[in-house]
Structure 1
Amino acid sequence: MQKENVIGYLPDERPSFGKALVFALQQFLVMLPATVLAAIIMNGFGLELYSISAAILASGVATIGFLLITKFQIPLYYGSSFSYIGAVSIVVSYAVDQNSSSASVLGSVLIASVISGLMSIGAGLLIRFFGKDKIDLVLPGHITGMIAMIIGLSLSGNVMSNILNVSSNGVDWISVFVSLVTFLTIAILTVKLKKGFISQIPILLGLAVGIVVSYLLWVPNQGNGFSFSNYQSYFQGIISHQQVRIVDVMPWVTIKAAFESPNLIGIAIIAIFPIAFATIPESAAHVNQIDLYVDSLANQKGKEGYGIKNKLDMNLIGDGVGDIIAVMLGGPAGTNYGENVSASAVTKNFSSYVFMITGVIAIIAGILLEVLNIGNLSLILTNPVVQGISLYLFGAIAVQGIALMIDKKVDVFDPKVIAVMGFIGIVGLGVSEIPVSHNFVLPGIGVAAIGGIILNIFLNLITNKKGVASA
C-alpha cells in the first residue's frame, strides 16, 4: 500500500515547478565548483584550452542528453571529470614543446574523448548482451583499480611544484601556507561534517576559506613585497583578461586545427582512452549508490524498488553519449557526479525532472556568462587555492583506485596479479611520456593501461593451459 505522507521524490515523480526549481538550483550549485574547477586546472598547464562558460553549458546539455538516453530512469547529473586532467596535461606538455596552438590541443582531446565515449558505449552494449562478467574478464579490479590510482598520482609532481612555487628567492611560503589551509579545511570538514546539506559541500567551503586567506596574504604580496596596490593590479587582471570564448572552442575550429598536427591526435588518443576503463567502476559505484537511496525511499512509500543497479549498461551508454555531447560543445569530458547523488540523498529528491531543470539552468548560466563577458572570473580562484584543492582531489582519486581493489577483493599475493599491477604502476608513474621520434611520444598512462591489459590476457592464457583457473 502506497504511503502518501513520506517526504521525497522518486525518479518518475515530479514536485511542483516552484519546488523543482529550488531543488534544481541547489543541484546546480553543488555541481558548479567541480565542473568549473576541472576546466580551470586544465587551463593551468601552459595553454588556455577551455571556455568556462562552455564547460557549464556543455554539462547542462550533456545531462539532458544522458537523461534522454536513460529514459529518465537514472537521476544523475553529468559534469566535468577530474580523471581526464592527467591525460590532458600530457597532451598540453607535448603541444607546448612543439609550439602547437590551444585549438589544436583541444581538437585532439575532443577526438580522443569521442573515442573514449564510444568505448564507454561499447562497454554498456557488451554488458547488455553478454553480462558484466565479460567486462570483468578483460578489466578486472587489479587493472581498473591500478589505472585509477596512477591517474590520481600522475599529477603529484605538478601539484607540488605549483604549491612550492620555487623562484630565485626560494620557496613561496605564502603559497604553501594558503594551499595547506585550503587542503586542511577540506580534510577537516569531510571528517567533522556528517549530516545535512553542508556536509556535502566541503570542497566549496574549503575553496571559500582558501580564497579569503589568499586575499589577505597571497595577493597583496605579489610583486616586490607587501603592497595594497597589488589588489588593484590583481583584480584589474581579472577584469581585463578575456576568457576563452565559446565560438573558439567549437569543433569546426578545433578539429580543423587538430588535423594540422596529426601527431597530437595520436598522443591524445593513447593518453585519454584508458580513462574509459577507470570510469566504468566509477559509474557502477554511482549506480549502486543511487539504487540504495531510491529503493529505500520507494520502500518507505510502499512502492516496489526501481532496480537501478541493474541498469549499469544503460548508465555506461548514457555516460558515453554525455562525453561526446560535452566535448562537441567545447567542454571537458565528464562523468556522473557523486556530489549530486549525495545532495539527492540529503534532500530525498531523486526526481529526474529536477535534473532536467538543473541542466536547463546550466545552459542558461553558460550563455549568460558568455554574453556578459565580464572577464576571466576563474582567476578569482588564486593558484595556491587551486593547488590546495588539487592536492585533495588527486589524492582522493588515487585512494578510490585502492578502494576499488579492496572492494573487488584483489588477491595481491597472486603472482599474476603482482606482475600486472607492478607493470601498470611502475610504467604509469615512472614515465610521463616515451619519445618514439622527434614528432611523436607515447603517454606513459596509455602504455601502462594497454600493456597491463595485454599482459593480464597473456598470463591468463598460460595459466589456463596449465589447468589453473584465471582470476
Structure 2
Amino acid sequence: MSEESNKPVYDLYERPPFLTWFGLSLQHLFSMFGATVLVPLLVGLNPGVALFSSGIGTLIHILITRGRIPAYMGSSFAFIIPMTSLLKTVGYPAVAQGVISVGIVYLVVALVVTFTGTAWINAIFPPAVVGPVIMVIGLSLAGAAATSATQLNGHYDLKVFAVALVTLLATIAFNMFLRGFLGLLPVLLGIIFGYLMALAVGLVDLSVVNQAQWFQMPKFESFLDERGFVFYPAAVLSMAPLALVTLSEHLGHLMVLSKITGHDFFENPGLKRTLTGDGAASIAAGLVGGPAVTSYGENIGVMQLSRVYSVWVIGGAAFLAVIFSFVGKLSALISTIPGAVTGGVGFMLYGVIAAAGLQVIVDNKIDYSKKRNLMIAAPILVIGIGNFHLQLSNQVDFSGVALATVLGIILNLVLPKVAASEIE
C-alpha cells in the first residue's frame, strides 16, 4: 500500500466543511446506534438515556483527552448480566452504583499509570501479540454479525440473508467506486441502501415511528432512591471486577486506533488520559440512568474505511446523539434499522478491524516459521474468536477477547525467545 493511498482524508485535528462534517458524523451515529440502543433494551433501561449518555460520555472523553483521540463511547455489552439482575432485584440506584464503580476502577488504574508510566506497554504488547489481539477484536464479533444477517425472531430467514448480502455488496461498491463527498460515506450509504431494500421486503416496522413524539424527554434515573442514598455493595462487587474486561478492550482499541491513524495514543494524549476519559464517561452515564460505556469497534471500522480520523467528526456524532435522544421520531426511525442491515455492514466494519491486525503482522514481518510466534498467535486467535470465556458466576463472565489478550501477554513474557527444537 502506497503512502498516498494510506494518507488520511481528514486527520485528527482537521475540521471538514459543515455539510461534509454533518454527513460523516451521521455515518458514525448510524454505525453505533444499533449496539448502543440494544444494550438498554436487553437490560431494561431507557434507550433514549443510553443514547444521551453515549453522546455526553464521548464529549467528556474528548475534553479529558484534549481532543487528541477519535474514540466514540457507546453502551458496553460486558455488564449486561449483572445490570439485568440488579435492575430486577433492587432497582436502578444499585445499577447506577455498579456503573459508577466501573468508572472509578478506570480512574484508579489511570492513577497507577500516572506513577508507573507506559514503558511497560511495549514490553507486554509487542507486534507478535498486538497483531493477533487486534484481529480477535474484529473477528470475535463475526458470529453476532452473521446471526443478525441470517435470522429473524430466532429463525433462519432468506429475506434477511438477501438484505444483508445486498447491504454488504452495496457498501463495498460505494467504498470502491464513489469519489468526492459521497466517497467518504460508504457505510452510511450502505445502511440507507440496505434499509430501503429491507423496507421493500417487509423487514421494517414503522409503527414505533408513528407512535413516537417529536419531542420526547429521555427517562433519566438517579443513584438515589426514595430513602436517599443507600449503598449496595453487591452492585459494586458484581460490576467493578468486570472493568478488567473492558480495560483489556480499551488497550486493544487504543492499539487499533494508533495503527490505523499513525498516531501513538499511548504517548499522546497518554494512557492515563484515555483511561480517565473512559472512567469519567461511565460515571456520567451512571449519574443520568445509562449503562456503562466503552469505546466502539464499529466506529473504528468506519474510520478505517473512510480514512477520516477527525476528532471533530466524532464530536459531531456525539452532539447528534445528544440531540437525537430528545427527538423521539428520529430515535425511533433509527431504531427500526433491522439486524439484516446492521449485520451486513458489520461484515465490513468488523473485518477491517481484523485486517488492521493482519497489517501489523505484515508490517513488522512476524515470522510464523518460528515456534514462539506461532505458539502466541494460535491460542489468541482460537480462544478470542471462539469466545472461550471464564464464567466465575452468573454475573461475572470474562469474555474470550479478554482471556485471549491476557494469555497473549503471559505467553509473551514466559516463553523463551527460541524453542529448544530450533537451537542447533
CA contact (8 A) 1:121 1:319 kept: no
| SS of structure 2 residue aligned to 1:218 | coil
CA contact (8 A) 1:174 1:217 kept: yes
Asked if residue 92 in structure 1 is aligned to residue 96 in structure 2, the reply is: no
Distance 1:26 1:161, change over 3 A: closer
Aligned match for 1:142, one of 128, 138, 142: 128
Asked if residue 79 in structure 1 is aligned to residue 72 in structure 2, the reply is: yes
CA contact (8 A) 2:24 2:184 kept: no
Q: Indicate the residue corresponding to 1:303 in structure 2.
A: none
CA offset digits 1:105-148 (Å, max 9, x no partner):
786566446645776787798677x5xxx532210112122222
Matched residues in 1 for 2:170 and 2:358: separation? 24
Q: Indicate the residue corresponding to 2:162 in structure 1.
A: 177
Q: Indicate the residue corresponding to 1:447 in structure 2.
A: 403
Gaps of 5+ in 1: 1-7, 221-230, 290-308
Asked if residue 433 in structure 1 is aligned to residue 407 in structure 2, the reply is: no
Q: Aligned-residue CA RMSD in angstroms?
A: 4.6
Q: Indicate the residue corresponding to 1:66 in structure 2.
A: 65
Matched residues in 1 for 2:277 and 2:111: separation? 10
| SS of structure 2 residue aligned to 1:324 | helix
Aligned match for 2:257, one of 275, 283, 286: 283
Asked if residue 245 in structure 1 is aligned to residue 257 in structure 2, the reply is: no
CA offset digits 1:1-37 (Å, max 9, x no partner):
xxxxxxx999999x9xxx9766754553354333434
**TM-score for both structures, normalised by structure 2:** 0.73
CA offset digits 1:358-404 (Å, max 9, x no partner):
848844x4554344444634313122212222222222222222222
| SS of structure 2 residue aligned to 1:333 | strand
Q: Indicate the residue corresponding to 1:423 in structure 2.
A: 379
Structure number with bigger Rg: 1
CA offset digits 1:181-221 (Å, max 9, x no partner):
1111112222223x42222211000011011111111337x
Asked if residue 216 in structure 1 is aligned to residue 197 in structure 2, the reply is: no
Size of the aligned set, in residue pairs, is 398
Asked if residue 196 in structure 1 is aligned to residue 176 in structure 2, the reply is: no
CA contact (8 A) 1:27 1:343 kept: no
Matched residues in 2 for 1:361 and 1:157: separation? 27
Asked if residue 272 in structure 1 is aligned to residue 233 in structure 2, the reply is: no
Q: Indicate the residue corresponding to 2:189 in structure 1.
A: 205
| SS of structure 1 residue aligned to 2:262 | helix
Matched residues in 1 for 2:147 and 2:13: separation? 48
Q: Indicate the residue corresponding to 1:295 in structure 2.
A: none
Shift of residue 458 of structure 1?
Answer: 0.8
Aligned match for 2:294, one of 333, 340, 345: 333
Q: Indicate the residue corresponding to 2:31 in structure 1.
A: 34
Regions of 4+ moved over 6 Å: 8-13, 104-107, 120-128, 240-244, 250-253, 255-258, 340-346
The correspondence of residues 373-384 of structure 1 with structure 2, limited to 5 A, is 373-374=328-329, 376-384=332-340
Q: Indicate the residue corresponding to 2:3 in structure 1.
A: none
Larger mean CA deviation between 377-386 and 239-248 belongs to 239-248
User: Structure 2 counterpart of 1:333, which letter?
Assistant: T
Aligned match for 1:319, one of 274, 282, 302: 274
Shift of residue 280 of structure 1?
Answer: 3.3
| SS of structure 1 residue aligned to 2:390 | strand
Gaps of 5+ in 2: 1-8, 286-291
Matched residues in 2 for 1:318 and 1:433: separation? 29
Aligned match for 1:158, one of 144, 156, 167: 144
User: Structure 2 counterpart of 1:138, which letter?
Assistant: I
Shift of residue 91 of structure 1?
Answer: 3.8
User: Structure 2 counterpart of 1:55, which letter?
Assistant: S
Matched residues in 2 for 1:57 and 1:442: separation? 27
User: Structure 2 counterpart of 1:210, which letter?
Assistant: G
Distance 1:407 1:49, change over 3 A: farther
User: Structure 1 counterpart of 2:284, which letter?
Assistant: L
